[in-house]
Amino acid sequence: MLGIRERGRAGARGGGGEAPGRGPEKRARTARDRPAGRWLWGVGTALLLLAVHSNWHLAAAAWLFPVFLLRYARLRPARHGLPRVGYALGLAQLVWLISTGMVFVPSVVAVFAVLALVQTLPFAADRLVAARAGSVCSTLVFPVVLVCGEYLFTRLAGFGDYGALGFTQHAFLPLVQLASVTGVYGVSFVVAWTASVAHWAWQRGFRWPEIRRGAVVWAGVLALVLGAGGVRLVYCAPTTETVRVAGISAGRAAERATERALHTAGEELWRPRNLVRADPRRVRAALAPVTDDLVAATDREARAGARIVVWPETQARVLANDRQRLLGRVAGIARKRQVYVNTAFALHIPRPPYVRNVAALVTPEGKVAWTYDKTHPTPMEPMTPGEGAVPVTGSPYGRLATVICYDADFPGLMRRAADQGTALIMVPANDWAGFESLHAQRAVFRSVEYGYAMVRQSVHGVATAMDHQGRIRGLADYFTADRQTLVAEVPVQPRTETLYSRTGDLFALLCTGGTLLVAALGVRGRRARAGAPGAGGERP
């Protein structure tokens, strides 16, 4: 009787025998994996926080963090592991929002919450689809779905191309050259695929006979990408003929004088609505220190040899009735010194939204070649967007164009400049502490993607000048100088045609097609498991 009862208890515990996949060996392995899983999540999350593109990010961390989070997701049940990977990605976005000061903008927080969900999808695809395949081809699932998510977020969210993993590699120029073929998405793919291959090898204990073929394929592709990038840097280098460009910002003393004048007497003249309704003489006097300083700096840099001068975004503020007077002063310098001056200012108008964010190019003939309104105001800028027509004009230094600050985060808009043969694009900008380097680093990819040089003059941030291959030709940090002045010799040559400027987002579209295939394989596999003998409660 005792033996019968013991056998009965054993049968009850085992459900009449060991369930499929839950034998003693499996239970022991799961128990061993639990602490390892927590450790993997912690390391992956820590590396992820360092990998998010910020002023303090580490490029190497972007290659490493997916390895640990992929491993963690594989070791845990999907219903537990994937949400925790999502938590890590959401935490990284929250840290980014806090570090940049964007956490106080509700619309931005909402968009980045969606981004965290999108970034979880490639981990889900790896866990639910790639985990059931054994070949090295399964390593493509993670990077393909990641690139698809980046592309769809850029196209649908209306927030620029934020969240692209490739931006973390802005200083790795041999790899960045891939953007001339695929856009930033190709760089994201290489980084993500490397992590996926590393995880695939780790899963096989790094046993060389098992991973040899996959490792050789990965190493060959990476060598080809970096080798081609190195060849492009060496053999397609810019010409030695250059033009001297100066980016100028008003000094801090002038900024402080204007700010004091706008905040006195409790009238809050810094608000556009109040400013346009106040006494014009008082407003003109309050705004004069900055505009006078910029005009004086324009003349100073022109006398020093600059042939192109670029102002920053909205540091100067001008009443609508004073616009011609300001441009007339700049035109006098342009004619006398034979320079192009890309002015930029907040133009205060008497009707809502009471301000326009504009750039106006003054030519050596003293004429205004264009007046451009910012196409993509940020969520913090309550102003009417421009029409999106990128202005381009000829010059002895190649065709010149302009956009304003946040506009450069939209690849489609920047393509319009390339389509018109732009050789040098000028980008007036205005950043802030916590965000001072990010736009400048992202701008490297726009130059490489479309083959034109760029001068980005950013007050309250890092101003940069770069050639069409992403080399930094000049840099000026607002926070380390009393008077931010960028002076650079920028190569003069026709725009370098790139494959990306011809084919557009073809690579990203291919990854989108690949993601549909991954989804179809996932559905097919789920149905096959549901119909297998023993599934759905059926017994063999």
Nearest to 296 by CA among 324, 317, 326: 326
pLDDT tens, N- to C-terminus, the chain (540 residues): 434 444 444 444 443 333 344 444 444 445 445 566 789 999 999 999 999 988 888 999 999 999 999 999 999 999 999 999 999 999 999 999 999 999 999 999 999 999 999 999 999 999 999 988 778 899 999 999 999 999 999 999 989 999 999 999 999 999 999 999 999 999 999 999 999 999 999 999 999 999 999 999 999 999 999 999 999 999 988 877 899 999 999 999 999 999 998 887 567 787 888 899 999 999 999 999 999 999 999 999 999 999 999 999 999 999 999 999 999 999 999 999 999 999 999 999 999 999 999 999 999 999 999 999 999 999 888 899 999 999 999 999 999 999 999 999 999 999 999 999 999 999 999 999 988 999 999 999 999 999 999 999 999 999 999 999 999 999 999 999 899 999 999 998 777 899 999 999 999 999 999 999 999 988 887 777 776 665 444 333
Q: Which residues of 444-464 are buried (b: 16+ CB within 10 A; e: fewer)?
A: bbbbbbbbbbbbbbbbbbbbb
The DSSP line for 412-430 is HHHHHHHHTTEEEEEEEEE
SS3 at position 353 = coil
Give the DSSP H or E segment for 453.
Answer: strand 453-459
Domain 242-495, architecture per CATH:
4-Layer Sandwich (3.60)
Residue with tokens 């239970």: 27
| 346 neighbors 365 (Cβ within 8 angstroms) | no
Enumerate the domain spans of the chain: 29-236+508-531, 242-495
Beta bridge partners of 455: 426, 465
| 512 neighbors 148 (Cβ within 8 angstroms) | yes
